[in-house]
Amino acid sequence: MTAALEAWRLSKTFGGGRRWFGRARAPVCAVREVSFRVAAGETLGIVGESGCGKTTLARMLAGLLPPSGGRITVDGKDPRAGAGAWGGLVQYVFQDPLGALNPRKTIRQIMHAPLRHLLGMEAPARAARIAELFDAVNLRREFLDRYPHEFSGGQAQRIGIARALAANPRIVVLDEPVSALDVSVQAQVLNLLADLQRAYHLTYLLISHDLAVVESVSDRVAVLYCGAIVELADAAEVFARARHPYTRLLADSAPVLGRKPAPAAAGELPDAPPRGCAFAARCSRAGDACRRRAPEPVCTRGENYVRCFHPVETPQ
Amino acid sequence: MSGARVAAAALFVRHRPAGVGALVLLVVAALAVAAPLLPLHNPDLTDLANRLQRPGAPGHPFGTDHLGRDLLARLVWGTRLSLAVGVFASLIAALAGSCIGIAAGFFGGRTDYLLMRGIDMLMAFPYILLALAIVAALGPGLLNALYAVAIVNIPFFARSVRGATATIAHREFVDAARLAGMRSGRIIAGEILPNVAPVITVAMSTTIGWMILETAGLSFLGLGSQPPQADLGSMLGEGRKSLINAPHVSVVPGAMIFIIVVSINLLGDGIRDLLDPRLRAGALSRPAPVTRIERAATGADDAHPPGGALLQVRGLHTRFVSAGARAQYAVNGVDLAVDAGQCLGLIGESGSGKSVTALSLLGLAPSPPAVISGGRVWLAGEDLLGANFERLRAIRGRRVSYIFQNPMAALHPLMTVGAQLTEAIRCHRRVPRRAALDEAVGLLRRVRIPGPEARARCYPHELSGGMRQRVGIALALANSPELVIADEPTTALDVTVQAQILQLLAQLRRERNLALIFVTHDFAVLSQLCDRVAVMYAGRIVESGATHDILSRPAHPYTAGLIRCAPRLGAGRRPAAIPGLPPAADHRPRGCAFAPRCERARAACEAGAVAPARLSATRRVRCLYPLEAA
Amino acid sequence: MRYVIRRLMAVVPVLLGLTVIVFSILAFLPGDPATAILGPYATPENVERLNRQLGLDKPPAQQYLIWLGNILQGDFGRSYSLNRPVLDEVLERFSATLILAGAALLLCTLWGILIGVRCAVGQYGWSDRLLTLTAVVGISVPSFWLGLLAILAFSVNLRWLPASGMFAVYGGGGAADLARHLILPALTLSVVATGVIARLTRSAMLEVLRQDFICAARARGVGERRVIYRHAFKAALVTIIPVIGVQAGFVLGGAVYVETVFQWPGVGRMLVQAISTRDIQLVQGGVVVVAASYVLLNLLADLAQHALDPKIKT
């Protein structure tokens, strides 16, 4: 099986080097050796708390940020081959739907850009395609001549999705696509995304801090902590039968209707991950080995894995 | 965009000084442009017999100068020259500065570093000194003065344009353009420039007056225009020699410079107000210490609270009024009651009015633009909205306190945590500073902050998000209040931290028998803490009752939809969406606001107001066809 | 403390760059300095000899290094028009400018902040409208014109205050005499900067007053006076202080006009005279000294802001 998207030991380090006048700066590791494969038509959820490197990872996958190490392949090929082709393979749906639309352009101008610059379509063909896309995301065509500020968050996000689809991508990176939306509108957008995935056979990478959203939409889920994937598992099991203690903590912390709150554990995300397992300082199961060296991934089932010396054993 | 244009016209009309400035400038500019057509004397024609004539002399309405030249003609031609020089200098500065600023802001990194260090060098000179040095190098002359003034103003443009560009270059729509296959050049022209243009315009409107002043100044010093050519500055410089016996020769051109620059600056202020989106939204007005209250006279029967609850709210209305915009109806008749020791969850989507309701209780909704237009709030029988400021201040933080959503924004960035806590204590109780500090450390310990003595000396930015919110809670508890109003206190926090804060709130509530109003948009969070729930939609409470009852058997279709549409962890199913959008806040429907999105709606729902119906002793629902009958 | 050292280190390249700019601007002066000094009737041999004396026959980079080396030893050359060492003249004149600019800076900071805070507190009231309008008028007044008006009103007509100079010619001297001479020029010089600082203070205060932590302080029952003068003003100062630093530059530069109008024996008037007599050594020396002191002043403003705002770490 060739994966639709594969990341291999992908890393990103910010800073480092020297200033022109002054001392060397300490590098910040935002993403550390992230590897995964996503099959065509699959949805991989990536979940983690703020500062865990979710957005950095997403931006690298979309070609918006050059990785410091590792490689990305789309359909087994390097997406950098062929100038400007990355946008034709991977598209991005942004967290802030209004911020992703240029306030000084009409929706029509915004929609034309990918068709013209990526696909090189002629004007009449572009108009027909835009009409088709707007039908697909359930937007009225008279919206095309309006400016972004005239739209609500939910409508703007539909426009953002339509623009992403315009490029005919294989993969869509969804960066917190519903977290800026009202609760009652979130479900509309999530359902729309599911319909579109089926209709266009899209591969999704869904990034979110909301466990319930990730669980309900994804096929598999990767849990990110301090820039590294600590656990990769099927969505139905990742929280219900968490293997990594951090995944366990996340699942227990999430408020659930009708469930009594579990006693909360202390501690927060560290600024700079220490040597060894980044979670060791907050972990009740941590031993000496955890603080000395970082655990390697241990295969659980298929391509799923957990990075822990002492994974939680749960009955199957 | 015509709406924006109308708003612009309206703003200009309201901004009267800008209108006056525009008018004066128009007249002056028209005179200057028309100078060759006007019946004026030759401005350079000397007539030594009629030198230093007073204003009003025959043939010379403004008099003559020391060479007998007609002052009026010289004034008009000098104005023409000064205006032209100022405009050109500012165009040059704007062009060069904007190019540097856009390049530095867009490309960043090394380009940015090099360009901006160069700009810093120019800024290292006191303003006019650099112009002097440049004129010294190029030699005196009007054109050289123009270049000098333009160069001196480049840093101002470069800096403001760079700042704006850097902000925009990191906006998501620029990423989107890149993903749409656009190259840097096209992105600068299509995405950056249109959004930076207002900044350039504002910078021009602020500097053009200065540039006219500075070129005139150089001419005044004899370094600008050379005789016989004269701009306003050199007229003033020449006239200075006869200051004592013919003051008008120098006073009149100076007055002209002043008039031009004042009108430009007045107009510039108007333009700035127009182009600055924050000002346009009316947000830059100073919020008053108490929300403006405009209640209609109420009857005597309304003067006393209907029950014995700790906090009672009856018919609260709050709307946002700003000039030139339609009123926004945020809260449209809210009734609430909280007993001592009880926790009420106030739930709704953004725009439902839940936060405004919470802030209105103690008159904290920012006004302008907020106005409380009706209703009463009783705390243990005392009407808070009718209380004077001193009375209200004594209650704020002492008997009723707040916890805010974003602890970073709600803490003073330049005061230590300990200083803010001791202040909170000492503004209600006469406690010596030392004792207050001890008490502050005790409060930090109570909200389970490790190492409270050291933390008290920290500034808010030195704490993590969870610690900051603990400080926010400590501040709320400083004077052992009876009621705490928490406005989405965990929304900005991560899940694991949220769990910690919720646990802390639950513990504190038990320990101190606190009454709590917990504002949230998340039923799952609410269900962990609250005894009772009030569901808000479009500024009204549509359903209220015990948490368990409402979660298991919601009566209002909106409540049911809200519960269903949030994905639930472990439920393994897609959420069911509520169709449509919440109503806009400037629109007040006659009937039920939810009717357009409701499956159960019938004609009667939109026909008239829906009164709250009593389902049981503790449950109310505002629906004609509820899911649960009484 | 590390910040202070780092900030001090950062000043060195700025000062170096500044000397490069000054040197190169004036090195490419049209015309030949030797001809300017010796007059149009000098023999070519004399001109050449003087050029060699002044080091003008060497390549520019070498000229710059020699010049810089001399400056660092305190040798700014000799002013040919005054026939005395440049440094002596510049320092004497600069002290006069510092008195004038210092007084003006003090005035504009004090009044600017007072007016700005007053406006913000009573926003849209009559005092705010009046004072903001006054501030616009203030930033629009040409100081050279205002100075003339002040002389006409207070010296010529009312005869209250002297019109020119730093001390009275006969029997002058002493602090009281200096103060009498200082009033009009200092006031004239401070007007524009007062307007700028007042406007900025007003908008900075308004910006701060609508922030969440002000609402939070009110929600805690903090008194309104304390909210405005402690909480809001403290936060606004962080934006006001750098502007005062920038205004110091405007005041130092603007002193050129005021010194010319009031015949104040400062460095600005000296520069204008030196430019018209093409006394390059004097212009270079004056510009370098004033600009360098301005850089140091801004350094002070930065350090003050750092002391106030714990968040600035870089």
For range A4-9, the mean pLDDT: 91
How much is the pLDDT for B572? 67
Is the model's pLDDT at C309 over the cut of 90? no
Alpha carbon of C45: minimum distance to chain B alpha carbons (Å): 26
**pLDDT surpasses 90 at C11:** no
> Is 80 exceeded by the pLDDT of residue B629?
no
Hey, what are B126's tokens?
A: 């006191």
Judged against a pLDDT cut of 70, whether residue A276 lies above it is answered with: yes
C-alpha distance from A16 to closest chain C C-alpha (Å): 15
Q: What is the per-residue pLDDT for A84?
A: 55
* B276 neighbors B337 (Cβ within 8 angstroms): no
Q: What is the pLDDT of residues A96-114, one digit of tens each?
A: 999 999 999 999 999 999 9
Tokens of A23: 């001392």
What is the ipTM metric for this complex? Answer: 0.89
Spatial separation of the C-alpha atoms in residues C91 and B362, rounded to whole Å = 62
Q: Could you tell me how many CB contacts below 8 A there are between chain A and chain B?
A: 204
Distances (CA, A) of B346 to A95, A254, B337: 26, 20, 11
Q: Check: CB of residue C220 under 8 Å from CB of residue B397.
A: yes
Domain C86-308, second-level architecture: Orthogonal Bundle (1.10)
pLDDT digits (tens, 9 = 90+) for C203-233: 899 889 888 999 999 999 999 999 999 999 9
Please give the average per-residue pLDDT across B306-326, as a whole number. 84
CB B383 within 8 A of CB B559: no
- pLDDT(A11) > 80: yes
Residue C30 three-state SS: coil
Helix (H) or strand (E) holding B329: strand B328-338
Query: In this complex, do B195 and A258 lie within 8 Å of one another by their Cβ atoms?
Result: no
User: What are the chain B neighbours of A213 within 8 Å (beta carbons)?
Assistant: 567
Mutate to test the interface with A, among B464, B467, B569, B599 (most CBs of A within 10 A): B569
For B173, which of A102, A182, A216 is closest by C-beta distance? A102
CA B558 to each of CA B97, B344, B615: distance values in angstroms, whole numbers, following the listed order:
55, 19, 16
pLDDT of A283 reads 86
Contact yes or no for C281/C81 (Cβ under 8 A): no
Q: Could you report the per-residue pLDDT of A56-108, keeping only the tens digit for each?
A: 999 999 988 889 989 999 888 888 765 457 888 899 999 999 999 999 999 99
Answer whether residue B18 shows pLDDT above 90: no
Is B328's pLDDT higher than 80?
Answer: yes
Q: What is the pLDDT of residue A147?
A: 92
Q: How far is CA B133 from the centre of its chain?
A: 41
Statement: residue A192 has pLDDT above 70: yes
DSSP-derived letter for residue B70 is: B
Residue B1 — pLDDT band, cuts 50, 70, 90? very low
Most confident of B123-127, B592-596, C295-299: B592-596
Q: Between B232-239 and C143-150, two packed helices, what is the crossing angle to 10 degrees?
A: 30
- In the three-class reduction of DSSP (H, G, I as helix; E, B as strand; rest coil), residue C78 is classed as strand
The pLDDT score that the predictor gives to residue C314 is 38
- Whether the predicted pLDDT of C2 surpasses 90: no
C84 band by pLDDT with thresholds 50, 70 and 90:
confident
Domains and CATH numbers, chain A: 3-218 (3.40.50.300), 228-256+268-316 (no CATH)
CA gap A107, A96 in Å, rounded: 16
Give the gap in angstroms from C-alpha C9 to the nearest C-alpha of chain A: 9
Average pLDDT over every residue of A289-311: 87
A255 contact C CB<8A = no
Q: Any idea what the Cα angle at residue A108 is, between residues A186 and A102, rounded to 5°?
A: 65
Whole-model pTM?
0.86
Is the CB of B254 less than 8 angstroms away from the CB of C295? no
Q: Is the pLDDT of residue A20 over 50?
A: no
C148, B478: Cβ pair inside 8 Å? no
Q: What is the pLDDT of residue B44?
A: 82
Point out the least confidently predicted range of A130-134, B7-11, B150-154, B321-325: B7-11
Q: Which amino acid is at A47?
A: V
Question: Which chains have at least 3 CB atom pairs separated by less than 8 Å from chain A?
Answer: B, C
Whole-number percent of chain B with pLDDT over 70:
94
- What 3-state DSSP class applies to B517? strand
Q: Minimal Cα distance from C231: which residue of B?
A: B412
Query: What pLDDT, on the 0 to 100 scale, is given for residue C135?
Result: 92
Across the range B63-89, mean pLDDT stands at 89
- Give residue-wise pLDDT tens across range A223-252: 999 889 999 999 988 898 899 999 999 999
The yes-or-no verdict on residue B200 having pLDDT over 90 is yes
Which residues does chain C have within 8 Å of residue B209's beta carbon, measured at their own beta carbons?
Answer: 139-140
DSSP label of B373: E
- Inter-chain CB proximity C291 and B124 less than 8 Å: yes
Q: Looking at residues B589-610, what average pLDDT do you find? A: 88
Q: What is the pLDDT of residues C19-75, one digit of tens each?
A: 888 888 777 665 566 666 677 677 778 777 777 776 777 777 888 888 888 888 888
Instruction: Determine the average pLDDT of the residues in A249-275.
Output: 77
Whether residue B323 has pLDDT greater than 80: no
Quote the pLDDT of residue C28. 66
- Helix, strand, or coil here: B467? helix
pLDDT at C35: 67
- Asked if residue C287 lies in contact with residue B129, where contact means CB atoms within 8 angstroms, the answer is yes
Q: Do A22 and C13 touch (CB under 8 A)?
A: no
Mutate to test the interface with C, among B16, B125, B244, B248 (most CBs of C within 10 A): B125
pLDDT the model gives residue B265? 93
Query: If you measure CA to CA, which chain A residue comes closest to C12?
Result: A21
Would you say B153 and B89 are in contact if contact means Cβ atoms under 8 Å apart? yes
CB atoms within 10 A of CB A211: 25
Q: How far is CA B265 from the centre of its chain?
A: 22
Residue of A nearest to C5 (CA): A22
Specify the higher pLDDT residue, B242 or B449. B449
**Alpha-carbon separation of residue C66 from A146, C49, C71 (angstroms):** 66, 18, 9
Percent of chain A with pLDDT over 90: 47
State the SS3 of chain A.
CCCCEEEEEEEEEECCCECCCCCECCCEEEEEEEEEEECCCCEEEEECCCCCCHHHHHHHHCCCCCCCEEEEEECCECCCCCCCCHHHHEEEECCCCCCCCCCCCCHHHHHHHHHHHCCCCCHHHHHHHHHHHHHHCCCCHHHHHCCHHHCCHHHHHHHHHHHHHHCCCCEEEEECCCCCCCHHHHHHHHHHHHHHHHHHCCEEEEEECCHHHHHHHCCEEEEEECCEEEEEEEHHHHCCCCCCHHHHHHHHHCCCCCCCCCCCCCCCCCCCCCCCCCCHHHCCCCCHHHHHCCCCCEEEECCEEECCCCCCCCCC
In the predicted model, what is the mean pLDDT of chain C? 85
**pLDDT-based confidence at B126, cuts 50/70/90?**
confident
Residues of chain A contacting C9 with CB distance shorter than 8 Å: 21-22
Residue B424 has pLDDT above 90, yes or no: yes
**pLDDT at C99 exceeding the cut of 60:** yes
Whole-number Cα distances in Å, C206 to B65, B473, C308: 48, 27, 20
pLDDT of A22: 46
Alpha-carbon B415 to chain mean position? 23
Q: C32 to chain B: nearest residue by CA?
A: B137
C-facing residues of A in 14-53 (CB < 8 A) are: 21-22
Mutate to test the interface with A, among B170, B188, B495, B564 (most CBs of A within 10 A): B495
Does residue A21 carry a pLDDT above 50? no
pLDDT at B254 over 90: yes
Are B487 and B404 within 8 A, CB to CB? Answer: yes
Domain boundaries, chain C: 2-85, 86-308
Q: Is B4's pLDDT higher than 80?
A: no
pLDDT tens digits, one per residue of C283-298? 888 889 888 888 888 8
* Averaged pLDDT, B14-18: 77
CB contact under 8 A, C149 and B478: no
Gap between the Cα atoms of B14 and B19, Å rounded: 8
* pLDDT band (50, 70, 90) for residue A1: low
Q: Give C287 to chain B, closest Cα distance, Å.
A: 7
Residue of chain A nearest B350, judged by CA positions? A182
Q: Are A71 and A10 in contact (CB under 8 A)?
A: yes
pLDDT for the residue numbered C313: 46
Query: How high is the mean pLDDT of chain B?
Result: 88
Which of A102, A163, A214 to mutate to probe the B interface, most B CBs <10 Å?
Answer: A102
* Residue found under tokens 């008037």: C269
Q: Which residues of C touch B159 (CB under 8 A)?
A: none
The string of pLDDT tens digits covering residues B474-525 is 999 999 999 999 999 998 888 888 999 999 999 999 888 899 999 999 998 9
Mean pLDDT value across residues B361-379: 88
pLDDT at B387 over 60: yes
For residue A22, give the nearest of C6, B109, C4, C1 by alpha carbon. Answer: C6
Asked if the Cβ–Cβ distance from A160 to B176 is below 8 Å, we say: yes
